[in-house]
Amino acid sequence: MSDQRKNLTDKTLCTVAGRKPCLHGKVVNQPVYRASTVVFDTLEEYYASQKILPGDGITYGVHGTHATYAFEKSIAQLEGGYRTRLCSSGLVACTAALLCYLNAGDHLLMTDSVYGPTRTFCHSTLKRLGIKTTFYDPAIGEGIEALIQPNTRVVFTESPGSWTFEVQDIPAICHIAKKHGCITIIDNTWASPLYFKPFQHGVDVSIQAITKYVGGHSDLLMGTVTTTKEVYPILRNGWRDLGLCVSGDDVFMAARGLRTLSTRLTAHAKSALYVAEWLQRRPEVIQVLYPALHGDQGHELWQRDFSGASSLFGFVLKPAYSNNEQLAKLMDNLKLFAMGFSWGGYESLLIPVNPASIRNFWPRSNIPSGQLMRIHVGLEDVNDLLDDLEQGFKNLHS
Ligand SMILES: *Cc1c(COP(=O)(O)O)cnc(C)c1O
């Protein structure tokens, strides 16, 4: 069995990527390697091991085992990058990637729609290191050129954005960044490695919170950073310096999640579209923010660049239903939708979010005002989910 065959679809790749039964007793799954110590048989082998680069061989627990390398290779293959390195959470993937590619005195262009804790990192640690951040409108497209300064080193994107789901024109941004010698990073978590292929659109570095859809069962924290060949050495050395690694148990869980990713995402996406269209017809809702919907602000870019939509999106309640007392009536009696932050698992979630307090480019003039809600559609029967929401809306009126 080999995963080297060309032309496998993503669905098949999810099931075969990284598997090499011949390496470990012919069992189907990569076993758990709990390893700190690696031993060498001869003095020659011992000295030779010191010339092996971190990530290229099994020489030291922190740098990886068969299992970590197999999972790294799977993600690199699916995202279409050169190499991947693992770390303990999606947030670490974001912050460590920034630390790798930025130097003291550099300028960073950061999308205003970035995952909140990554934004905090810019205001705290990066500021402390003398790195200035300019937050840009996620709808900027090629207008990004006007913001590039002589010391701009990195353009960080996330598409669609956290909470507000603006789709970015990634090819246009990458084209201009490249022209000015800047590195582009994308937080590609929403699309998973399946629905957006960052390296086909000119991105240099792609981040996944494996915690979300790849893990898929709300029981795992992990992040990946995948790069092109050109910028990989910087990542490899940064990982070596920071000592970033993951546990053997966690990488087993991540690889296990990957096996069903494609099938789960198809089910998530189908239900999400159904729920989004249902919400559009609800009198309590003014707007649904989901790029897969015709007429959504990001629909055209999404249709051009993505091959699917995941199951996390937003909707805006009419101002008449947006005060906390009413919101509590909607939220407190839901049976299937729980209030929780970390999405991508099998279960449905619903939370009110308030981006205006931290954003420079929100509210947007083309989005009506009212309470913004973020919904994650899980793997429950979609009719049960609609019943639950319907009951919630009924309570809202009581
Ligand atoms: C959740 C999330 C992260 C962080 O992942 P953790 O593993 O929870 O740290 C990063 N980026 C995006 C877009 C996310 O949604």
Q: Are strands 285-289 and 312-317 parallel, antiparallel or unpaired?
A: antiparallel
Q: Is the CB of residue 189 below 6 angstroms from any atom belonging to ligand 1?
A: yes
Q: Is the CB of residue 115 below 6 angstroms from any atom belonging to ligand 1?
A: yes
Q: Which pTM value belongs to this model?
A: 0.97
Confirm if 384 and 336 have CB atoms less than 8 A apart.
Answer: yes
| Separation between Cα atoms, residue 28 and residue 100, nearest integer Å | 36
Q: What is the pLDDT of residue 227?
A: 99
Residues 6+ apart with CB under 8 A from 281: none
Q: What residue owns the CA closest to ligand 1's atom 8? A: 90
| Separation between Cα atoms, residue 330 and residue 391, nearest integer Å | 8
Q: What is the pLDDT of residue 256?
A: 98
pLDDT for residue 398 is more than 90: no
Helix axes 382-397, 324-331, angle to 10 degrees: 140
Work out the number of other CB atoms within 10 angstroms of the CB of residue 170: 22
pLDDT for residue 204 is more than 70: yes
pLDDT for residue 4 is more than 60: no
Q: Is the CB of residue 160 below 6 angstroms from any atom belonging to ligand 1?
A: no
| Separation between Cα atoms, residue 347 and residue 218, nearest integer Å | 8
User: 149 CA distance to ligand 1 centroid (A)?
Assistant: 29
Peptide bond before residue 363 is cis, with ω within 30 degrees of 0: yes
At 62-75, the pLDDT tens digits run 999 999 999 999 99
Cα(first)–Cα(last) distance of the chain, in Å? 60
pLDDT for residue 20 is more than 60: yes
Q: Is the CB of residue 225 below 6 angstroms from any atom belonging to ligand 1?
A: no
Mean pLDDT of the chain: 97
User: 49 CA distance to ligand 1 centroid (A)?
Assistant: 35
Q: Residue 389: what residue type?
A: L
Query: How sure is the predictor about 5, in pLDDT bands with cuts at 50, 70 and 90?
Result: low
| Separation between Cα atoms, residue 235 and residue 84, nearest integer Å | 9
Question: What string of DSSP letters covers 302-320?
Answer: HHHH-S---SEEEEEE-GG
Q: Is the CB of residue 342 below 6 angstroms from any atom belonging to ligand 1?
A: yes
How many CA atoms, within 13 angstroms, populate the side-chain half-sphere of residue 264? 24
Q: What residue owns the CA closest to ligand 1's atom 4? A: 90
At 309-334, the pLDDT tens digits run 999 999 999 999 999 999 999 999 99
At 218-270, the pLDDT tens digits run 999 999 999 999 999 999 999 999 999 999 999 999 999 999 999 999 999 99
Query: How sure is the predictor about 6, in pLDDT bands with cuts at 50, 70 and 90?
Result: low
Helices (H), the chain: 10-16, 43-49, 66-79, 90-101, 116-121, 127-128, 170-179, 192-195, 232-242, 248-259, 261-280, 299-305, 324-331, 382-397
Q: Is the CB of residue 162 below 6 angstroms from any atom belonging to ligand 1?
A: yes
Q: Is the CB of residue 91 below 6 angstroms from any atom belonging to ligand 1?
A: yes
